[in-house]
Amino acid sequence: MKKVIIVGATSGMGRELARIYAREGSLVGITGRRSHLLDSLRDEFPNQIQTSHFDVMGHENIAHLENLVSTLNGMDLFIVSAGIGTVSKTLEWQIDKTTINTNVLGFTEMVNWAYNYFQNHGGGQIANISSIAAWRGNSWAPAYSASKAYQSVYFEGLHMKSKKTKAGIVITDVQPGFVDTKMAQGNARFWVASLEKASLQIHRSIEAKRFRAYVTRRWRLVAWLMKWMPGIIFHKFG
């Protein structure tokens, strides 16, 4: 039986992924800040889902994750879906600080732990829900774009490390475009995917063990355009 841990499963794609894996018969450990939302999901799948309530900006992330692994009696797949992004006309330090603490510091601590866990246990898979925003800066959410760029580059490094050292750890970097969740902010949205469609594509990408996946797939074109568009043009829209 596959054992999956999903960090950030109180809402959005993390919550939907937990449902998908539970329906498949996997044992799923879910984490998040809002315990009542974790409990309601566990009530849907009482034989499949275990919960651990904590905030990734805290100081006991690893202890909570180790307890969850012990409860599941192992781990095969580790998914990070916890993240924050706030749009603002002004540059506010509290927004940047919260974004960095969640999307960079908390993210790195947990992924570093998961990589070493799998290295010590003969392999496994780590997946992260990054963003198409990782490709370029954004004047409305500069810390968010920078943090997602950090995540995707960090995952590329882990992918290379696993290949070079033959660690047997599969690294999957998922870069969604606009998905119909509370995280999708702003008025200039297009190609907005439903939560169900996006989550199913993410699940398929993870199970196919892809290194990088765009959700929905048409966002691959946007990623290419963002990468190669000259700054004199891109900066008018970002």
Q: Please check the confidence at residue 195 and state whether its pLDDT lies above 80.
A: yes
- Please report which residue ranges of the chain form alpha helices under DSSP H: 12-23, 35-44, 61-72, 93-100, 107-120, 142-165, 195-207, 219-228, 231-234
Q: How high is the mean pLDDT of the chain?
A: 92
Position 29 scores a pLDDT of 98
Burial (Cβ within 10 Å: 0-12, 13-18, ≥19) of residue 182: exposed
Contact status, residue 8 vs residue 31, Cβ threshold 8 Å: yes
Contact status, residue 169 vs residue 162, Cβ threshold 8 Å: yes
Q: Please check the confidence at residue 186 and state whether its pLDDT lies above 70.
A: no
Q: What is the CATH class of 3-234? A: alpha beta
Q: Which helix (H) or strand (E) holds 192?
A: none
User: What is the pLDDT averaged over residues 18-24?
Assistant: 98
Q: How confident is the model at residue 193 (pLDDT cuts 50, 70, 90)?
A: confident
Q: Torsion angle of alpha carbons 107, 108, 112, 118, nearest 10°?
A: 30
Helix axes 107-120, 61-72, angle to 10 degrees: 40
Position 189 scores a pLDDT of 62
Position 216 scores a pLDDT of 83
The token duo for 51 is 């919960």
Q: How confident is the model at residue 203 (pLDDT cuts 50, 70, 90)?
A: very high
Beta-bridged to residue 29, according to DSSP, are: 5, 50
At 59-96, the pLDDT tens digits run 899 999 999 999 999 999 999 998 898 989 999 999 99
Q: At 96, which amino acid appears? A: D
| Percent of residues, the chain, with pLDDT higher than 70 | 95
pTM over 0.95: no
- Cα-trace Rg, the chain: 17
